[in-house]
Structure 1
């Protein structure tokens, strides 16, 4: 048993490490986006959409960061869609709207009955787009802080590359908790893979906290039709629809001045529910390369976890598990170094080896429950 485990484990470790080093190579090839002279580029009118459900504590900070854009105030609007909030989120939005005419509030309860839908966020975005004036849609989340040159950089990329869809980087802040640092490092790797895949010529991931897309293209792909039965997927699954319809007219805004910041989940329970939500859409990915990568990652982590459990009965397996975990850690650190440098997060890599046991367990559990379990999100249970 020990020999067979080692052979299988080393085979998976070889493929996994090779993939991670490819990601490092691709990431290091990326050149930061240079917007050029922003004053020479005519401004696109953007409709910034912010779905919000019980976001009273953060919605004002989010909207203030949008209002502080170094972009003509007459060239963007902000549409907040209140998703059946039970707190005073709507009141805070209306207070700001009284002083800033580019802000407007829509209430989902005026169009849908609570409990009648599953994909509330998609319905919120579709509703806002139907009421929007902009030729381009920009989405972020109510718990995010956007940078001052956010819209300027989207505008410059539209002028330079003529895309229909733009993904851009997102990063967690540090809340000082062990769970927060774990989430930061895990998300750092996901953002690095997102950028590396673009460098390799393939858009495989994106995040709805920092997206822009042509409203005309959104309508052409049928909005969220075909994926509107899923609670998640307003970002990646929409991206796949755009990719099938428009080929290579997808861009990635690789700029440290375009990073949107958001807070990690406050505790392990909410973090796990978030990752289960993300994993739940994996079976709907149409990118075969992405599915192959997900299976490799899952099988390697499952092999490590299975070996760790088996070592309770066969102690000699523990050293093999330790060896394979060491290979995994070394390969991932080689990739994380340039990614952390881009996001100014190098100091958190000291925690990376300590996080490995937690990362292995959560990868296996979240992947399994994403396929066969249920999760709770924004106080709603999703099957």
Structure 2
């Protein structure tokens, strides 16, 4: 066995071990069943936005349809210097639903991260202890807050990570993105199951103001453009892991839109991947490195196969083993998220290592565009 084959085998074994560990962790996180309790928790919903005129009406309509006492809901909309008519849409919606306690703020840029600034802008004026963040391109389930309240009453957490999935159309590009996001959700749930949570999504993230200030808010993590979610989560886990929970319930799932084209998808994933360089968790860093090496090794292996430097049986065996463990994790995620028919196209599995490797490498050295602005990781 040559040195290349040995390296491939070592990377594969590490990858398989880590993914199987996450699969076992996924099984440990039990689905939460809502009980018949009277709502007691008042929530402040914080929505940072920039140039979201196309998406805000749908989000705001879903918020107005929440199956929760409106007197226990406060909404803070933070406008990050939009250049479209987002502000006008918010004002019109606020006038239409006067009974909803809604505040519209303009963001203040105090750091390198506009989104952290937006949330930080809302925190001091939030009337309620429980703050829930979501994004302007999302749709919240009508039982979103009802499920959160029920979980809070039953489990007494200080921070709750929720699920996000795509509202996707039936085409290959959307399906590719759905599989990618499902894998991230699988890793998120699995990491909670093994007691090493490090990932979440700010589109469905809740925490108390008290806990936010206890862990220092965004202090020490404001030097990156994104990460208002994962870096805050990791600070919370370091401070008091027992108070950080994952809510596994389909009524608490928030849906968002897939990207419309490959360039926007690439920029989004570069932004997400760039967070990994700021991880404080050694487990998270190790997992990120192994995943990148696994995908990169398949890309290099394919090149070596083409030039005749590697036996096709070796690269095929590595690909099949990766496909199998990935399929199991994705199947677990799908059984929770969608509960429908499930398959992983071979074409997606072949393309993904190339896409993921390019994203991972570019995120280490390149910049990305987000909401019309340019940032560096």
Q: Is the CA contact 1:307–1:318 (under 8 Å) kept in the aligned structure 2?
A: no
Per-residue deviation, 1:346? 4.3
Aligned length: 374
Residue 72 of structure 1 corresponds to 69
Per-residue deviation, 1:215? 0.5
Residue 262 of structure 1 corresponds to 256
Structure 1 segment 224-243 matched on structure 2, within 5 A: 224-243=218-237
Question: How has the CA–CA distance of structure 1 residues 230 and 316 changed in structure 2, closer, same or farther, with 3 Å as cutoff?
Answer: closer
Residue 23 of structure 2 corresponds to 24
Residue 290 of structure 1 corresponds to 284
Could you tell me which of 47, 50, 55 is aligned with 1:53? Answer: 50
Residue 10 of structure 1 corresponds to 9
Residue 339 of structure 1 corresponds to 333
Deviations 1:127-182 (A, max 9, x none): 11122111111000000001111111111222222211100111012134422111
Give TM-score, length-normalised by structure 2: 0.95
Structure 1 segment 184-333 matched on structure 2, within 5 A: 184-314=178-308, 316-333=310-327
Q: Is the CA contact 2:304–2:310 (under 8 Å) kept in the aligned structure 1?
A: no
Could you tell me which of 124, 133, 141 is aligned with 1:139? Answer: 133
Residues in 1 aligned to 2:222 and 2:55: alpha-carbon distance in whole angstroms: 27
Residue 122 of structure 2 corresponds to 128
Q: Is the CA contact 2:188–2:198 (under 8 Å) kept in the aligned structure 1?
A: yes
Residues in 1 aligned to 2:179 and 2:237: alpha-carbon distance in whole angstroms: 29
- Whether 1:369 and 2:362 are equivalent positions in the alignment is yes
Deviations 1:115-135 (A, max 9, x none): x75210111111111221111
Residues in 1 aligned to 2:114 and 2:316: alpha-carbon distance in whole angstroms: 44
Question: How has the CA–CA distance of structure 1 residues 133 and 144 changed in structure 2, closer, same or farther, with 3 Å as cutoff?
Answer: same
Residues in 1 aligned to 2:266 and 2:340: alpha-carbon distance in whole angstroms: 25
Q: Secondary structure at the match of 2:2?
A: helix
Give TM-score, length-normalised by structure 1: 0.93
Residues in 2 aligned to 1:123 and 1:150: alpha-carbon distance in whole angstroms: 25
Q: Secondary structure at the match of 2:32?
A: coil
Residues in 2 aligned to 1:325 and 1:288: alpha-carbon distance in whole angstroms: 27
Q: Secondary structure at the match of 1:105?
A: strand
Residue 99 of structure 1 corresponds to 96
Residues in 2 aligned to 1:246 and 1:16: alpha-carbon distance in whole angstroms: 29
**Unaligned ranges ≥5, structure 1:** none
**What value does the CA root-mean-square deviation take over the aligned residues?**
1.6
- Whether 1:355 and 2:354 are equivalent positions in the alignment is no
Q: Is the CA contact 1:79–1:103 (under 8 Å) kept in the aligned structure 2?
A: yes
Q: Is the CA contact 1:38–1:152 (under 8 Å) kept in the aligned structure 2?
A: no
Q: Secondary structure at the match of 2:203?
A: coil
Deviations 1:87-112 (A, max 9, x none): 1111011001002232221122xx44
Q: Secondary structure at the match of 1:349?
A: coil
Residues in 2 aligned to 1:198 and 1:104: alpha-carbon distance in whole angstroms: 34
Per-residue deviation, 1:348? 4.7
Residues in 2 aligned to 1:231 and 1:52: alpha-carbon distance in whole angstroms: 14
Q: Is the CA contact 1:337–1:346 (under 8 Å) kept in the aligned structure 2?
A: no
Could you tell me which of 137, 140, 157 is aligned with 1:163? Answer: 157
Per-residue deviation, 1:362? 1.8
Residues in 1 aligned to 2:88 and 2:293: alpha-carbon distance in whole angstroms: 48
Residues in 2 aligned to 1:317 and 1:53: alpha-carbon distance in whole angstroms: 51
Residues in 1 aligned to 2:37 and 2:222: alpha-carbon distance in whole angstroms: 37
**Unaligned ranges ≥5, structure 2:** none
Residue 145 of structure 2 corresponds to 151
Deviations 1:1-56 (A, max 9, x none): x73222221222122122222222221233211231132xx521111001111111
Q: Is the CA contact 1:96–1:103 (under 8 Å) kept in the aligned structure 2?
A: no
